[in-house]
Structure 1
Amino acid sequence: MVVSCWSYYILVFTETGAEEAAVVLTKNAEVKRIPVYDKQGFLLQLETKLPPELAYKYGNLSSGACKPGYAAAKMTTIYPKFIKSAPMFLDRNFKRLSKISHYLPPFGIKTQERIIDSILTATKNYGLGERLDRLSCKRCIIVGNGGILYNKSLGTRIDDYDVVVRLNEAPVKGYSRDVGTKTTLRITYPEGAIQNPENYEKDSLFVFSGFKPLDFKWFRQIVFKENVRGLDGFWKSVAHRVPRDPTEMRILNPYFIQEAAFHFIGLPLNNGLMGKGNIPTLGTVAITMALHNCDEVAVAGFGYDMSSPHAPLHYYEKVKMAAIKESWTHDISKEKEFLRKLVKANVITDLTKGI
């Protein structure tokens, strides 16, 4: 009788966990290391199934019911280092958040503590609002600005989510059939903010994401309704007024920029400073935020199809895909790799199937 080989697997763990591997022993005592996790710490063979106890837990819920903790549970199966606790917005205890205290913007709050403290004194509120904060299970959708949303008639489905997140200046009026009418919060930075006050929808939170010290100065002027000045340093024109009370404004936790860039995508650290190709897009930052703060996470309007140069770049304008040039700040290909992991492992649901 001829025995070709025999093998068994031993998990070998390193301090970081990023180099975990299975060791295969053959009958000839040959040792082969087969990587289990990639450099970022994600499973190479993405697990789409939940552990039996969680499958039982969610399987017993009625059809269509919100699944408490589902996104975090799924994320942990493919990325064991994931820790859910990370507040969505900064509050008066922000100086205790050690993960952001040692980084300069956009990855932290170093040098901006005083101005942030001043802003938070005025905003006074640090959550989504009483009704949403009380929910025991939140279903969130991040609506991207991609042309892939056009003519998909997803508006009603998008509005069914508890929390609808929109980005920068992407409009709702005139596009509701495809993108819905509901906006829970709009995340933006100075150059991306809606400039015409009449174009802001009602009943939504204005969420500031700061990428440079100048951004925080701008936001303070907006919050206190001062004349916006000191505009040198912005790469395009910025909003001079936001029709929101300070209590309807928030500061996004910069940890989500840091985690998306360095932990999830694997962008260059560059000594913790903003540099070439190490800033994640705001859409991926918003998804990272949702993984920590929502029970179920969906996206729509994500994904650029570079093989279709004549396709619309954004759902609200006629600019074509061919207009995209290599970005100095973003690494779109690496970012897409990360988002595809989330979709493939069913951590998030992609309504427009563009990722």
Structure 2
Amino acid sequence: MKPNCKFLLGLCSMLALGFLYYSSGRLTLRGWGHKSCKDLNTVHLLNLLSPHSRPLELIYKYGNLSKGACKPGFAAAKMTAIYPKFTKPAPMFLDPNFKQFSKIGDYFPPFGIKSQEKILDILLLATKSYGLGEELDNCKRCIIIGNGGILSNKSLGQRIDEFDVVARLNEAPVKGFEKDVGSKTTMRITYPEGAIQKTERYESQSLFVLSAFKALDLRWLQHMVFSQSLRSTEGFWKSVAKHVPREPGDMRILNPYFIQEASFKLIGLPHNNGQMGRGNIPTLGAVAITMALHNCDEVAVAGFGYNMSTPHAPLHYYEKIRMSAIKESWTHNISKEKEFLLKLVKAGVIQDLTGGICSAGC
């Protein structure tokens, strides 16, 4: 009888732990004025489990979901397995409570908001909207669309449009390329020099999201929000958009914490006393992926990865510039960023639909 009692006691304990674990993913954590992803409770519980038990726990939690169903907290859970400190909520966009988010208060742009508080107050008062919308407050499957030529002739458009959130970067066009890149755009993340300059090329409905890499970028956004004439482009490294055909309520400011975290904590770029310097700025693609890992339950990418062994391949899906045109960047460290993205793919944190990240082998 004793062995049977011990067995029943052990079985009850396992069932109780399983119930707690399952329930944790269904709880909602609210922070910094937003409805937060359900994944954070899952992440905290995973931290209590030994690293070796995590794969089994993930199978237990997600194994019975129907095919195609969103997996609550999946990306954050997988991310925490390889980056144990990846547990803090970080909202996508700045809102009027941004001063309470201490991680960005000590850094100047691009890593923070130091000395920019006044203009941010003005901008946020004007935009009045700070999230994705109530329809996207639940479990979210997100995809970040890179601009790589590897997207060409893959016919992924329909599959891309099935994601809840489709984020595009800079001026990469959609019209005329729908078969390969889809037609849906939830948000377009950019900076002044990368923004679409021809107003007719903007999607009819999408969020315009500024990723500010310098203080001047916020001044530029002020002109766009208030439809003010841009008198000078001094200080920008190339021409910038003079007008953004969006209402203030459709404009957002990306949380600069994602630049800070991607650079210093994830990719491992030089800190340089928190200042922009040689080789310590992540690409916008890496920043967008970091944003998605904090705010989406599942994360996929497409159009990422440069294969330098094919110098005559197209660099971007929408133009004829070749891969050989890539030159050593002063601000980015492409090799270290490749290592970071490869790590995410190998660990199953993100899904790469075009396979460019693993072109050298996974």
Q: For the superposition of Structure 1 and Structure 2, which TM-score range results when normalised by the shorter chain?
A: 0.7 to 0.9
Q: Which residue pairs with 1:193 in the alignment?
A: 195
Q: Which residue pairs with 1:257 in the alignment?
A: 259
Q: Which residue pairs with 1:299 in the alignment?
A: 301
Q: Which residue pairs with 1:268 in the alignment?
A: 270
Work out whether residues 205 and 248 of structure 1, in 8 Å CA contact, stay in contact via their aligned partners in 2: yes
Once the two structures are superposed, residues 186-240 of structure 1 have per-residue CA deviations (whole angstroms, 9 ceiling, x without a partner) of: 0000000000110001110000010111111000110111111231110100001
> Which AA in structure 2 matches 1:112?
Q
| Distance in 2, Cα, partners of 1:75 & 1:120 | 31
> Which AA in structure 2 matches 1:241?
H
Work out whether residues 72 and 295 of structure 1, in 8 Å CA contact, stay in contact via their aligned partners in 2: yes
Q: Which residue pairs with 1:106 in the alignment?
A: 110
Equivalenced residues, count: 307
| Distance in 2, Cα, partners of 1:49 & 1:219 | 47
Consecutive aligned runs of 4 or more in structure 1 exceeding 6 Å deviation: none
Q: Which residue pairs with 2:279 in the alignment?
A: 277
> Which AA in structure 1 matches 2:205?
D
| Distance in 1, Cα, partners of 2:148 & 2:54 | 31
Once the two structures are superposed, residues 41-77 of structure 1 have per-residue CA deviations (whole angstroms, 9 ceiling, x without a partner) of: xxxxxx8984423321101211221100000000011
Q: 1:234 aligns with which of 230, 233, 236?
A: 236
**Structure 2 residue 150 is the aligned partner of structure 1 residue 148:** yes
Work out whether residues 84 and 293 of structure 1, in 8 Å CA contact, stay in contact via their aligned partners in 2: no
| Distance in 2, Cα, partners of 1:333 & 1:310 | 20
| Distance in 2, Cα, partners of 1:78 & 1:216 | 34
Q: Which residue pairs with 2:93 in the alignment?
A: 89
> Which AA in structure 2 matches 1:239?
A
Work out whether residues 209 and 251 of structure 1, in 8 Å CA contact, stay in contact via their aligned partners in 2: yes
| Distance in 1, Cα, partners of 2:121 & 2:346 | 41
> Which AA in structure 1 matches 2:332?
H
Q: Which residue pairs with 2:338 in the alignment?
A: 336
Q: Which residue pairs with 1:76 in the alignment?
A: 80
Q: Which residue pairs with 1:314 in the alignment?
A: 316
Q: Which residue pairs with 2:19 in the alignment?
A: none
**Structure 2 residue 213 is the aligned partner of structure 1 residue 211:** yes
Work out whether residues 72 and 84 of structure 1, in 8 Å CA contact, stay in contact via their aligned partners in 2: no
Q: Which residue pairs with 1:347 in the alignment?
A: 349
| Distance in 2, Cα, partners of 1:167 & 1:226 | 24
> Which AA in structure 2 matches 1:109?
I
| Distance in 1, Cα, partners of 2:214 & 2:68 | 42
| Distance in 2, Cα, partners of 1:231 & 1:161 | 37
| Distance in 2, Cα, partners of 1:247 & 1:140 | 22
Q: Which residue pairs with 2:125 in the alignment?
A: 121
> What is the DSSP-based 3-state SS (H/G/I as helix, E as strand, rest coil) of the residue aligned with 1:275?
coil
Once the two structures are superposed, residues 1-56 of structure 1 have per-residue CA deviations (whole angstroms, 9 ceiling, x without a partner) of: xxxxxxxxxxxxxxxxxxxxxxxxxxxxxxxxxxxxxxxxxxxxxx8984423321
What residue ranges of structure 2 are gaps of 5+ in the alignment?
Answer: 1-50, 358-362
| Distance in 1, Cα, partners of 2:176 & 2:316 | 14
**Structure 2 residue 225 is the aligned partner of structure 1 residue 223:** yes
Work out whether residues 280 and 330 of structure 1, in 8 Å CA contact, stay in contact via their aligned partners in 2: yes
| Distance in 2, Cα, partners of 1:291 & 1:62 | 22
What residue ranges of structure 1 are gaps of 5+ in the alignment?
Answer: 1-46
Measure how far apart 1:84 and its partner are: 4.1
> What is the DSSP-based 3-state SS (H/G/I as helix, E as strand, rest coil) of the residue aligned with 2:259?
helix
Q: Which residue pairs with 2:17 in the alignment?
A: none
Q: 1:198 to 1:48 in 2, by over 3 A?
A: farther
> What is the DSSP-based 3-state SS (H/G/I as helix, E as strand, rest coil) of the residue aligned with 1:284?
helix
Q: Which residue pairs with 1:42 in the alignment?
A: none
Q: Give the share of equivalent positions with the same residue, in percent.
A: 74
Q: Which residue pairs with 2:183 in the alignment?
A: 181
Q: Which residue pairs with 1:27 in the alignment?
A: none
**TM-score (norm: length of structure 2):** 0.83
Q: 1:340 to 1:132 in 2, by over 3 A?
A: same
> What is the DSSP-based 3-state SS (H/G/I as helix, E as strand, rest coil) of the residue aligned with 1:291?
helix
5 Å-filtered alignment, 1:3-22, equals none
> Which AA in structure 2 matches 1:150?
S
Q: 1:333 to 1:60 in 2, by over 3 A?
A: same
| Distance in 2, Cα, partners of 1:288 & 1:229 | 34
**TM-score (norm: length of structure 1):** 0.85
